[in-house]
Structure 1
Amino acid sequence: MPIQYDFSMGFLVTIMAILGMVLIGSLGAVLQLERCHPRLIGAAIGALVGVVLIEAMPMLV
């Protein structure tokens, strides 16, 4: 999956942030961690995973 355009990178980071927000936010809601803002933490972790994925992909391929 070669990433050639800036739009593709931004799209991947956005999708990973939304996925992290949904998954980690839901996990935080289930564990009743509402005071820690689980959706914000999930979005940050998802964006970080997206950036790491973009940076690591050329080494793997």
Structure 2
Amino acid sequence: MEEAQKNQPRKGWAEAFKEMNEAVDDQLLIPDVFEDESFLSDPENDWKDDEISDQSKKHP
């Protein structure tokens, strides 16, 4: 029988990313969506996991 191969899907990624960084080839492909992230500190947009959980209980 053949010897089972151990699956290593990310083998070599660290070295590849290091090489990309050194070659300045690790830039974002899609620009940052939010240029102004001040909405995160707006009290009206106070997102909490508890509120989301409560809403899901109301609407199954």
Question: Shorter chain as normaliser: what TM range?
Answer: 0.3 to 0.5
- Using the size of structure 1 for normalisation, the TM-score is 0.33
> Normalising to structure 2: TM-score of the pair?
0.33
Structure with the greater relative contact order (CA < 8 A, sep ≥ 6): 1 or 2? 1
